[in-house]
Every structure is written in structure tokens, then in C-alpha cells.
Amino acid sequence: MEINQSLLDQPPSEEEERLYKELLLQASEMHNMESKEPECNLVQPQPGMCVKTKDLHGNKIFINICQSSEMPSPLDITEEELVQILQSDEPGDYRVPMSLGEAHAEIDKAGKGCTAYDVLISQEFYAKISKSNFFKGFFVTVVYEGIENKFKLAVDRNHEWTILKHRKTMGPLQQHNIRKKSKPRILEMDSIEETADVQIKQTKKLITEVDESHQPSIPEPKYIMMREPIDGQPEFIVVEVQLPNVKTAKSLTLDLGEDRILLKARPNVYLMDVYLPFDIVQDESGAQYNRDNTVLTLTLPVKPT
């Protein structure tokens, strides 16, 4: 195939030059938006309770369970629901967001050296474990696993842990660096045709119908969750949320965790708080709201295993 060199030598027209500059500007703006790393908050924990226990060598361990409004809360469930989850085939489906700080050396009341660990959770979940011994015992077990995995330390599970009565912390609480969750932009589309090019094509869908028996005071929207491909480790999770009472994307607030979707439609129109079967890449996730069919489509890349 021969190329007419005279066409390449012709200078671009003013209209072509203008379109070219616009494309460069759009590409630059998209690159800047995608390259921004989510910021972090330096959080000062509020005192809560101090758990006293031992490791397998008989050394004292103190766990400062502290709280902050900056931490997200886990799914709000009852003791009965937690029992069902723990007895199920996948007990790991229920996760408690927490921040485990570095170990710090302290002196106990006997003047002997000991090690303290600070664990930061949300104020709402702290209130739950304060009222429920069952949730408290469950969370202490979760913290044990976190300490053992992070510090390669074996906690004595047979030693009966206690809550200190006269002090809420062992040593001063350290600040925690909490990573802000990046919020995907919600693009608002006018028609199905406009969204056709950006939605993931599904050749074979696995659709999960959601039927929650426990309904919150704010209605939960209907949604379907799809995975692509259906076999093996998926590359994407696509969630379609029906929002018939939402007029504009400006009324929506979307937060994505590693394995959680929290969607709110103001004022108290809808509330969706669900956990995902796979961890996702929050920074690369996208959201589009179609005003014609009032459907919000979330495209969530799955973290490779």
C-alpha cells in the first residue's frame, strides 16, 4: 500500500488544530486525575479499654483497643448472625476494619518491662464490643491473629485475658496513619447508547439476586452482581444498582473499600452496604449513572491473587 506523501506534508487546518489541542488537554486532565494517590489522615486514637494477656513464653502483652470516628465500621449484625457466619463454610466473609499500630515497650505496675499494641476501630464497633461480651471475645480473637501475623508472635490462647479496671491504656496511644478511600467519580449519562462503549461486555454472566431479610430503616436498592469471566479468578466485578427515585448523580455518595460498597442516596432515599466476594482495586474502579433507566453501574477491577 502506497502513502501519498503530499497529504502528510499538508499543514493541519484550524479546526483540526483545535480538536488536537482539546484531545491533548483531556488526556492530560485524565492522567492527572488517575495519578493522584489517595491522601492519608494522621489520626489520634481515643482511649477505650486495655486487654492483658501473655505470649507462649509467659511475657505480658497489653492490647490497647482504641477508637476513632475516622475508622469505617463493619457490617452491623446481631450476635445470632455472627454465630451463623462463624459456623458457615466462609467465616472470613465478615471483616472488621482496624488499624494495628507498631509494638511499643512499656513498664507495668510491677515495674517490669512489657509490650503494648494499639488497635484502632470505629466508635460504632467499639460501642458494640463494650456492650456485648460475645462480640468482645470475637474481636480479641481477631486481634490475636493480627498480632501473630504482623509480628510473628504466638499468643497464649489458653491464658485467660482480662480487661484492666483502673486504666484504659498501657502507655500513650500512638497516632495512626489512616489511608483515605478514594471516591470514584460518578459519571452521569443521558442514554443507554452513551454508556454502551464504556460498560464491560458480558458474554457469560453469573448473576446473584440479593434478597436481604434484614432491612434497614433506609430502603436498600435492588442490585445484581456479575463477574467476568465466570470461571476461575474474575478480572472484574460489575454491579448494577436500580435507583428509580434518584434524579441526578449529585445526590449519590459512593465509598469503596477493599471488599465493600457503601452507597448513599440523599436525603435518606437509599442505603446500600454490601461486601464483595473478592478484593478490588479501588483507585481503578469506575461508576456511571444512567438517568434514562436510573441504573448505577459500578465497574470494579479485581485484585490479582
pLDDT digits (tens, 9 = 90+) for 232-268: 888 999 999 999 999 888 889 998 888 899 999 988 8
Q: By C-alpha distance, which of 241, 125, 129, 256 is closest to 185? A: 256
More confident residue, 45 or 178: 45
3-state SS, residue 229:
coil
pLDDT tens for each residue of 63-103: 999 999 988 888 889 999 899 888 876 665 678 888 999 99
Least-confidence region, from 129-133, 202-206, 233-237: 202-206
Cβ neighbors of 80 (< 8 A, separation 6 or more) are none
Beta strands in 29-183 (DSSP E): 40-43, 46-54, 60-68, 99-100, 104-107, 113-122, 162-163, 176-179
Q: Which residue has the cell 497529504?
A: 7
Give the pTM: 0.52
Provide mean pLDDT across the span 162-173: 94
User: Using CA atoms, how far apart are residues 236 and 70, in angstroms rounded to an integer?
Assistant: 29
Contact 72, 124 (CB under 8 A): no
CA distances from 90 to 84, 134, 212, 274 (A): 10, 19, 18, 16
Q: Examine the pLDDT at 8 and tell me if it is beyond 90.
A: no
More confidently predicted of 3 and 85: 85
Instruction: Evaluate whether 227 touches 206 at the Cβ level (below 8 Å).
Output: yes
